Amino acid sequence: AVVSTQSTGKHKEVTLHMDGPLGETILECYNCGCRNVFLLGFIPAKADSVVVLLCRQPCAAQTSLKDMNWDQSQWQPLINDRSFLPWLVKIPTEQEQLRVRQITAAQINKLEEMWKEDPGKTVEDLDKPGIDEDPQAVMLRYEDAYQYQNVFAPLVKMEADYDRKL
């Protein structure tokens, strides 16, 4: 869920958790400092038992890597099958997964929209009344002006609120 949230939410930088395998670390390219995790990958160093994080373009494609004893054909992305590699992020145990709150993609999207207005919003705020209320559907014909106003007034207000945010 974290990776899908990042890709749809335009979040590209990651700091690993302090209790994770690598501790509290900001993931960035060794060569240029790029922090976009969707561009980052790693190359194992030939001599040492270490890996080097490099972005796909331009750093991993540079021919100067051969001078540093790195084999650019060994480059692999940090994200595989919509998940971070297990040596980066601790995989939860089955017991931990049972305790996890189940959240849908629609709820994630709604929460991200709410964060634009108030970054302090939580998943509990999704259950509050009025959060998921959609406006009435627009009809082709209306019985009277009162019905027309009841449908269009909330839409006009929503558009005005959206324009104010921009």
Q: How confident is the model at residue 15 (pLDDT cuts 50, 70, 90)?
A: confident
pLDDT at 67 over 60: no
Amino acid 46: pLDDT:
65
Instruction: Return the higher-pLDDT residue of 14 and 148.
Output: 148
pLDDT at 48 over 70: no
What is the rounded CA–CA span in Å between residue 136 and residue 21? 50
pLDDT at 84 over 80: yes
- Give, as one character, the DSSP assignment of residue 33: -
- Tokens for 32? 């240029």
* Residue reference for tokens 């194992």: 44
Amino acid 149: pLDDT:
92
pLDDT at 4 over 60: no
Provide, rounded to the nearest whole percent, the portion of the chain with pLDDT above 70. Answer: 82
Average pLDDT across the chain, whole number: 78
pLDDT tens digits, 108-159: 778 877 877 778 888 888 777 665 667 788 889 999 999 999 999 989 988 8
Q: What are φ and ψ of residue 141, in 5° steps?
A: -135, 145
Distance of CA 26 to the CA centre of its chain: 16
State the pairing for strand pair 79-80/51-55.
unpaired
Listed in sequence order, the residues at least 6 apart from 15 whose beta carbon sits closer than 8 Å to its beta carbon are 24, 25, 26, 27
Amino acid 23: pLDDT:
76
* Residue reference for tokens 């449908």: 151
Q: Do the Cβ atoms of 138 and 151 come closer than 8 Å?
A: yes
Global pTM reads 0.56
What is the rounded CA–CA span in Å between residue 14 and residue 83? 13
Torsion of CA 57, 43, 29, 22, to 10 degrees: 150
